[in-house]
Chains A and B, each alone.
Chain A
Amino acid sequence: MENEQTWELRLYVAGKTPKSVTALKNLKKYCETHLQGKYQIEVIDLLEKPQLAEGDQIFAIPTLVRKVPEPIRKIIGDLSNEEKVLVGLNIVPVTPN
């Protein structure tokens, strides 16, 4: 069941800072590995749309928000630790055989 669901992920950044770029790169990598074909990543640049920060209660940058599946989870930081990200998002790792 869970496997059928499309994961909606939002990454909040503020301009193209090294941390944001790293975070996005890391995120894409993890998703390709573990959620291939059933995820969407939306990158929101708060410098362009500051009004969106309030809705998801963003105060740190970069912040990754898992909108679907619920409940909402947030991970802040450049996502450099894969294990933490997977635990934080509650992704069942696809173990490569």
Chain B
Amino acid sequence: MAKGTNKNITPSKKTLPKTATGIAGFDEITQGGLPAGRPSLVCGEAGSGKTLFSIEFIVKGITLFNEPGVFIAFEEKAEELSMNVASLGFDLKKLMVENKLRIDYVHIDRSEIAETGEYDLDGLFVRLSHAIDAIGAKRVVLDTIENLFLGLSDKGILRAELRRLFQWLKEKKVTAVITGEKGEGTLTREGLEEYVSDCVILLDNRVTNQISTRRLRIIKYRGSVHGANEYPFLIDEDGISVLPVTSLRLAAKVSSARVSSGIPTLDDMLEGKGFYKGSSILVSGTSGTGKTSIAGSFAYESCKRGERCIYFAFEESPEQIIRNLRSIGLDMTPCIKKGLLKFQSSRPSTYGLEMHLVVMHKLIKDFKPDTVVIDPITNLITVGSASEITSILTRLIDFLQTQQITVVFTALTLNTLIKEQTDESVSSLVDAWLQVRDIELNGERNRGLYIMKSRGMKHSNQVREFMITERGLHLEDVYLSPEGVLTGSAREAHKLQKKTEEILLKHSLIRKDKEIERRAQELQFRIRTLTSEFDSLKEELNYQSVEGQLKKDVLEANRKELIRLRDSTRNEQYVSLNNNKKNKGK
């Protein structure tokens, strides 16, 4: 991977051939490792990790790259060395039996040596040459060659011989590491840096505020670009891990996949889908606002999806967190048993900030989680300044992004001072920022959650009431009333009031319905009466008109009868004449 990075950066230029050391992180910062076939100087004070660096260079060379190595020890016997590094899981004896490793202890005891006349270090050359040839070594370590100066008094000869030795090592085409102890005002006591001019690495162990941090710096690397910063490194049961301070590029892959926050109602606020995978989320709030609960439910949800999660706790022990999360209905123990969840609790003051970063880095590399929780980042302020935290977080976020790991940080906003310092500076780094606030109203303290920002999505702009219940977390829908957003019992009261109003309204509606029905019935009744009245009137009128007609007919008939009766008293002729007239008329 390291070699690949190297190629990417200088694709066209011919670079110095390099030998990967296999030391975690070191090959990244040197873009490939140590100069191949040349000697490099590793210097530092006593106890700075020089011997460990060099032995790891040899062992990793054998185990990872199948390059046999020779270790010339001037300080420790082979057995002592094996014992010392056995705790790191390096089995030197096995490697020696397999003919991959040669340890040659050069013992120099001034008391049994006298010098007279001219000499050279051919004996050392012969031993080295013999060891290299016997196993076909590609890597050589001389630890610490300056011990020669303690045993021999003729410095003139020694200097000339060392110069010859380094030249000889180059001719042998072995990649060599020479260690040297730091001197007064110089990198090494005897000025070895004058002879080994290709690559000089300084190891340092500084104590600030009673916290020691190991640092590594590349002072010189001829013919190669290299990071000039001080890189913190860690020595633990797996050896050395160096942490690259900053990656130079902002070129991390991005994903449009989403991961749930573990709180469905919160997901709803984020387009209903949750956060982007590989993004960084900051949850800030005053104490007791439920930051850990949010972080916990995020971790829980991620384990439920079958993803791996590391929970870095700087405030509480794992047991405490598990107990507390159980109270809101999240049982983390099965996740831990399945190996999906890992708690890493440490006091901020355990190490310096840099070391915290190295430890996190290493754990993340080993555990390969999909999600990471850091709870809370603000506790780290006890071991570093705000600007240091920002720098640490930048690097951490950067690293997590390249690994496509979603991370949730919690931050405590104590007062304006810390708020200004941490939140503001961190805010530009994170992709999403949730703020949990206290809302004090009507003698109550409720929690309100809102999304300060969420890059690349349409998120809700509303303040939601954040509820912590024994069945988990959820956000209560915005409750708008004429007086504004209501929370807590004010919201409940308002809800009750509304409910009452609803019942009353329903009741009055029923009454109105009944009224209408009654009115309708009444009207119908009246319509029926009127119709019958009308009918009788009509009948009456009909009757009258029939009666009139009858009267008229009867009168007519009577009149005719009278006429007939009167006419019959006249002559018959007249009657017959009258009858003829009548017939004609028909």
Instruction: List A residues at the B interface (Cβ < 8 Å).
Output: 12, 14-15, 17, 19, 22-23, 26, 46-47, 50-51, 53-54, 57-63, 71-81, 84-85, 87-88
Contact = CB atoms under 8 A, between A and B. Distances in A.
A21 B108 CA distance: 24
B116 interface: yes
Contacts of A76: 113-116, 119, 152
Interface in B450-497: none
Given A51-B130, A59-B148, A23 B117 contact: yes
B347 interface: no
Contacts of B108: 57, 59
Given A60-B152, A61-B123, A63-B123, A79 B129 contact: no
A61 B116 contact: no
Given A14-B122, A46-B122, A54-B104, A59 B127 contact: yes
B106 A59 contact: yes
B126 interface: yes
Given A59-B127, A60-B122, 5 more contacts: A60-B121, A61-B123, A75-B114, A78-B118, A84-B116
B117 A12 contact: no
A60 B124 contact: yes
Contact of A60 (B104, B107, B123): B123
Nearest to A14: B122
Contacts of B513: none
A72 B230 CA distance: 48
Q: Is the interface of B mostly helix, strand, loop or mixed?
A: mixed
A19 B119 CA distance: 7
A75 B106 contact: no
Contacts of A47: 126
Nearest to A89: B114
A22 B115 CA distance: 15
B119 A62 contact: yes
A53 B152 contact: no
Nearest to A76: B119
Nearest to A61: B122
Given A12-B123, A53-B123, A59-B108, A84 B118 contact: no
Given A50-B129, A53-B130, A59 B116 contact: no
Nearest to B130: A50
B123 A74 contact: no
Given A57-B106, A57-B107, A59-B148, A77 B126 contact: no
A53 B113 contact: no
Contacts of A80: 116-118
Contacts, number: 99
Contacts of B126: 14, 46-47, 50, 53, 58, 61
Interface string B111-151: 01111111111111111011000000000000000001000
B162 to A, nearest CB: 12
Interface in B88-120: 104, 106-108, 112-120
Q: Which 7 A-B pairs have the closest CB atoms?
A: A88-B114, A50-B130, A78-B117, A80-B117, A77-B117, A61-B122, A58-B123
Contacts of A14: 122-123, 125-126
Interface of B: 104, 106-108, 112-127, 129-130, 148, 152
Contacts of B129: 50
24 contacts: A14-B125, A15-B122, A19-B119, A26-B117, A50-B129, A54-B127, A58-B123, A58-B126, A59-B121, A60-B124, A63-B119, A74-B113, A76-B113, A76-B114, A76-B115, A76-B116, A76-B152, A77-B116, A77-B117, A78-B117, A80-B117, A81-B117, A84-B115, A85-B114
A77 B119 contact: yes
Given A54-B104, A77-B119, A59 B114 contact: no
A88 B116 contact: yes
A81 B112 CA distance: 17
Contacts of B123: 12, 14, 46, 53, 58-61, 63
Contacts of B112: 71-74
A79 B127 CA distance: 22
A58 B130 CA distance: 13
B114 A78 contact: no
Contacts of B122: 14-15, 17, 46, 60-61
Nearest to A20: B122
A62 B120 CA distance: 7
Contacts of A23: 117
Contacts of B124: 59-60
A74 B151 CA distance: 12
Contacts of A75: 113-116
A81 B106 CA distance: 26
B116 A58 contact: no
Contacts of A63: 119, 123
A24 B229 CA distance: 55
B425 to A, nearest CB: 57
B106 A73 contact: no
Contacts of A58: 123, 126-127
Contacts of B148: 59
A12 to B, nearest CB: 6
Nearest to B108: A59
Nearest to B148: A59
Contacts of A62: 119
